[in-house]
Amino acid sequence: MEELQVLITRAQIAAKVAEIAERITADFAGESVVLIGVLKGATIFLADLARQIKLDATFDFIAVSSYGNTRQHSGEVRLVKDVDQSMAGKNIILVEDILDTGLTLTYIRNLLLAHQPKCFKIAALLDKVSRRTEAIDADYVGFVIPDEFVVGYGLDFAERYRNLPDICVLDSKRA
Ligand code: 5GP
């Protein structure tokens, strides 16, 4: 069995999500937004965030290949599912669980900027700043975390643990 240690509690997450939602609501007052979730890790964050954003909002989802069952980033990002609609002229908020090296979001950002949106912002719940290799940052960041492998609140290890309500560090010796 892997060992889990709580890093960020559900109460801390809820408070931070409310704070980010408030900022987004203020920043886009009077406008419509498209929340684009990166499957599958961002689904829970998107669901919680969306319900607190007091704006006219729609959802879309994008999927790229990522870690699979290991912790190493292959350095390659492959599109698995594109957005369903054109984002031309839209206010896009890309919703991601965690920003690590930045390879994934750089790839997705370039893909979406090609649609020529009106505005493009990134909301990342977690940010491993120390691991960044690409020149990309989120506009809305929940928590800056150390270089530990975390699971829960949508984040998986080999598809497990996504349903944990807290964000936990997975024992580094095991996985
Ligand atoms: P990046 O392309 O920024 O290196 O990696 C982003 C992706 O890597 C995230 O969307 C997530 O799928 C995965 N990832 C990075 N760090 C972690 C982590 O600590 N835990 C989990 N479960 N996934 C991670």
Position 172 confidence tier, pLDDT thresholds 50, 70, 90: low
Q: How far, in Å, CA of 159 to CA of 37, rounded? A: 17
The reply to whether 159 falls in a domain is no
Q: Count up the domains in the chain and report the number.
A: 1
Which of 46, 98, 143, 171 for mutating ligand 1's site (highest number of atoms within 8 Å of CB)?
98
96-149 pLDDT, tens per residue? Answer: 999 999 999 999 999 999 999 999 999 999 999 999 999 999 999 999 999 999
Domain presence at residue 153: no
- pLDDT (average), residues 3-22: 98
- H helix intervals, the chain: 10-27, 43-50, 103-113
Q: Which of 117, 106, 91 is nearest to 27 (CA)?
A: 91
- Indicate whether 175 pLDDT > 90: no
Q: Is the pTM of this model over 0.85?
A: yes
Q: Kindly report the CATH number assigned to the domain that includes residue 40.
A: 3.40.50.2020
Helix axes 10-27, 43-50, angle to 10 degrees: 60
Please tell me if the CB atom of residue 73 comes closer than 6 angstroms to any atom of ligand 1: yes
Q: For residue 154, tell me if it sits in a domain.
A: no
- Select from 155, 158, 175, 159 the least CA-distant residue to 167: 155
- C-beta 125 within 6 A of ligand 1: no
Atom of ligand 1 nearest to the CA of 131: 4
Q: What is the domain extent for residue 57? A: 11-146
pLDDT in tens, 16-51: 999 999 999 999 999 999 999 999 999 999 999 999
Nearest protein Cα to ligand 1, atom 11: 98
Residue 162 lies in a domain: no
Supply the pLDDT for residue 76: 82
What is the structure's pLDDT at 2?
74
Contact 11, 128 (CB under 8 A): no
Residue 155 is assigned to a structural domain of this protein = no
Distance CA 139, CA 93 (A): 9
